[in-house]
């Protein structure tokens, strides 16, 4: 484990390649980022109990567990810090799998350090308010979507039998945007910005992957409904079943 001079940004690295970790620590030092290195999931998860990073660099091919599996678990637990996945797996399918697991960005190995630095800076800026992709702060909204209750502030869905399904902050922001305009098409670029994505939708289908995952979840939770979220080709997405705003007093 290594430390770097005090800064507001705490960059954690979960990577089993010790040489790469040492190189990144040295290169990050002039930038003033606090850096912590973990070579396995267990040490990382133990430290996560006490504190969280400003950003996590996550290797996909870890000992004991795949990085994507670990990340999916973190998102289900409600951890919403930005994650940049690093991997020697560079195919489109591998990148999509990383994004589906909850990664905010994905960079194939080997990579140029300058590109890594810029991607980290953009992710940090987006979460601190410096970028246009900032996810809005949690609202007090609650929505009734057919038989389920969506609580935006808690980033969770409650089913009629009281089962609780937790969402990532980005996915909760996407669903909130659609629920606020039921029946209306919300553009892909708008949804990308709302979710905190830094990817140009004309060059990537990452927002479509996220909406596809969210649509499958809602269809599973509402089997009596046909397709809760409709994709409008070349335009965006809309929620096509009735949605009602629920006041706090209605359920508390």
- Assess whether 14 and 123 both reside in one domain: yes
> Looking at the predicted structure, is the pLDDT value of residue 246 above 60?
yes
Residue with tokens 């799998």: 97
Beta-carbon contacts of residue 250 (< 8 Å; ≥ 6 apart)? none
28-55 pLDDT, tens digit per residue, is 988 889 899 999 888 898 888 888 899 9
> Looking at the predicted structure, is the pLDDT value of residue 132 above 50?
no
Arithmetic mean of pLDDT, 174-183? 88
Domain that holds residue 216: 142-251
Is the residue at 134 inside a domain? Answer: no
Q: How confident is the model at residue 180 (pLDDT cuts 50, 70, 90)?
A: confident
Arithmetic mean of pLDDT, 6-26? 87
Beta-carbon contacts of residue 137 (< 8 Å; ≥ 6 apart)? none
Q: Is the dihedral of CA 174, 140, 144, 150 positive or negative?
A: positive
Q: How far apart are CA 133 and CA 151, in angstroms?
A: 22
- Tell which residue, 3, 102, 123, has the closest CA to residue 54: 123
Q: How far apart are CA 158 and CA 164, in angstroms?
A: 5
> Looking at the predicted structure, is the pLDDT value of residue 4 above 50?
no
Strand duo 55-59 + 34-38: pairing: unpaired
Q: How far apart are CA 59 and CA 76, in angstroms?
A: 19
Arithmetic mean of pLDDT, 21-28? 92
Average pLDDT along the chain: 82
- Assess whether 182 and 152 both reside in one domain: yes
- Assess whether 14 and 117 both reside in one domain: yes
- Assess whether 113 and 192 both reside in one domain: no
- Assess whether 27 and 113 both reside in one domain: yes
pLDDT of residue 153: 78
pLDDT of residue 140: 56
Q: How confident is the model at residue 137 (pLDDT cuts 50, 70, 90)?
A: very low
Arithmetic mean of pLDDT, 221-246? 90
Q: How far apart are CA 115 and CA 162, in angstroms?
A: 45
Highest-confidence segment of 3-7, 126-130, 163-167: 163-167
Domain boundary among 128, 162, 196: 128
> Looking at the predicted structure, is the pLDDT value of residue 232 above 80?
yes
> Looking at the predicted structure, is the pLDDT value of residue 225 above 60?
yes
Q: How far apart are CA 216 and CA 120, in angstroms?
A: 30
pLDDT of residue 6: 36
The domain that holds 198 is classified in CATH as: 1.10.10.10
Q: How confident is the model at residue 78 (pLDDT cuts 50, 70, 90)?
A: confident
Domain boundary among 97, 128, 159: 128
pLDDT of residue 128: 60
pLDDT of residue 126: 74
DSSP class of residue 66 equals B
77 versus 245: the higher-pLDDT residue is 245
Whole-model pTM above 0.85?
Answer: no
- Assess whether 122 and 148 both reside in one domain: no
Q: How confident is the model at residue 23 (pLDDT cuts 50, 70, 90)?
A: very high
Classify burial at 27, counting beta carbons within 10 Å of its beta carbon; exposed 0-12, middle 13-18, buried 19 or more.
middle
Q: How confident is the model at residue 131 (pLDDT cuts 50, 70, 90)?
A: very low
Arithmetic mean of pLDDT, 188-193? 77
Q: How far apart are CA 93 and CA 199, in angstroms?
A: 17
- Tell which residue, 245, 241, 47, has the closest CA to residue 146: 241
> Looking at the predicted structure, is the pLDDT value of residue 27 above 70?
yes
- Assess whether 201 and 178 both reside in one domain: yes
- Assess whether 99 and 181 both reside in one domain: no
pLDDT of residue 136: 41
- Assess whether 150 and 245 both reside in one domain: yes
Residue with tokens 């289900």: 76
Count the domains in the chain. 2
Domain boundary among 128, 152, 171: 128
> Looking at the predicted structure, is the pLDDT value of residue 2 above 50?
no
12 bridge partner residues: 36, 56
Triad 195, 199, 205: Cα angle to 5°: 90
- Assess whether 176 and 95 both reside in one domain: no
Assess contact for 191 and 203: CB atoms under 8 A: no
């Amino acid at each position: 484990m290594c430390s770097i001079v005090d800064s507001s940004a705490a960059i954690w690295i979960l990577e089993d390649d010790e040489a790469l970790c040492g190189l990144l620590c040295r290169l990050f030092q002039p930038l003033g980022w606090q850096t912590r290195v973990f070579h396995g999931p267990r040490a990382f998860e133990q430290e996560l109990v006490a504190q969280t990073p400003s950003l996590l660099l996550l290797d996909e091919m870890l000992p004991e567990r795949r990085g994507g599996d670990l990340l999916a678990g973190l998102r289900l637990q409600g951890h919403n810090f930005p994650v940049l996945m690093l991997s020697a797996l560079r195919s489109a399918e591998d990148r999509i799998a990383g994004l589906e697991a909850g990664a905010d960005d994905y960079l194939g190995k080997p990579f140029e350090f300058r590109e890594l630095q810029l991607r980290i800076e953009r992710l940090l800026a987006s979460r601190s308010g410096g970028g246009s992709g900032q996810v809005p702060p949690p609202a007090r909204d609650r929505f009734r979507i057919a038989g389920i209750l969506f609580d935006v502030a808690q980033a969770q869905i409650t089913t009629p039998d009281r089962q609780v399904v937790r969402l990532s902050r980005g996915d909760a922001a996407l669903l909130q945007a659609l629920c606020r305009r039921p029946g209306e098409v919300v553009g892909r670029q708008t949804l990308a910005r709302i979710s905190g994505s830094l990817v140009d939708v004309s060059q990537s289908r990452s927002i479509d992957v996220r909406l596809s995952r969210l649509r499958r979840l809602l269809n599973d939770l509402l089997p009596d409904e046909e397709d809760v979220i409709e994709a409008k080709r070349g335009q965006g997405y809309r929620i096509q079943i009735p949605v009602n705003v629920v006041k706090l007093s209605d359920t508390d």
